[in-house]
Structure 1
Amino acid sequence: MAELTIRKIGNSLGSILPKGLGLQEGDKIKYTQTEHKLILDLETTDIKHDRELIEESFRDFETGKWLNEETMKEKFGEFGWGK
């Protein structure tokens, strides 16, 4: 089980979260607290990030920056594309 160190930040307490969680500055994380457990829920943050990635990829279609399968075979066939 991984551990986080609690630190004093101003008049509050906080912790540094691992970069590998995929969080970005300003993200909001939902949490629930039971008697002795604090559970962080990253699902809504993951959905937000996925949505941003999908929308970013569709921008390529809007700007005409995409290739169809036949063009990919022509450009990259020598590297195994389409085989």
Structure 2
Amino acid sequence: MKKIKVRKVGNSLGVILPKSSGVVEGMELDYQKQSSKIELTINETEREYDRREIEKGFDDFEKQNILTEDEFAKKFQKYGWHK
């Protein structure tokens, strides 16, 4: 098990997660405390985040600010999008 240091952020506490965790800036996580464990869940919140990104993409499309097919596949390949 890897260790993560808890840090003070304003009046709250926070942790820094490695990139390999799959968490990205702006993503909201569900959490649950179970006795001495804290469980973070990204499954549904990750889909919601990506859904918002896709919807934002429609706004970008109307402004002619679009992703190439390769860029889109790279960003959403975990959901089966590919060339």
- Aligning the two structures, in what range does the TM-score lie when normalised by the shorter sequence? 0.5 to 0.7
In percent, how many aligned pairs have the same letter? 34
Query: 1:69 matched to which residue of 2?
Result: none
Q: How far does residue 46 in structure 1 lie from its aligned partner after superposition?
A: 4.4
Higher Rg = 1
Unaligned runs of 5+ in 2: 51-75
Cα separation, 2, equivalents of 1:20 and 1:45: 17
Larger proportion of strand: 2
Residue-by-residue CA offset, 1:21-77 (whole Å, 9 max, x unaligned): 12111101111111211011121244455xx455975xx8xxxxxxxxxxxxxxxxx
Q: Report the count of equivalent residues.
A: 57
What TM-score do the two structures reach when normalised by structure 2?
Answer: 0.53
Q: Which runs of 5 or more residues in structure 1 are unaligned?
A: 61-83
Q: What RMSD over aligned residues (CA atoms) do the two structures have, in Å? A: 2.8
TM-score w.r.t. the length of structure 1 is: 0.53
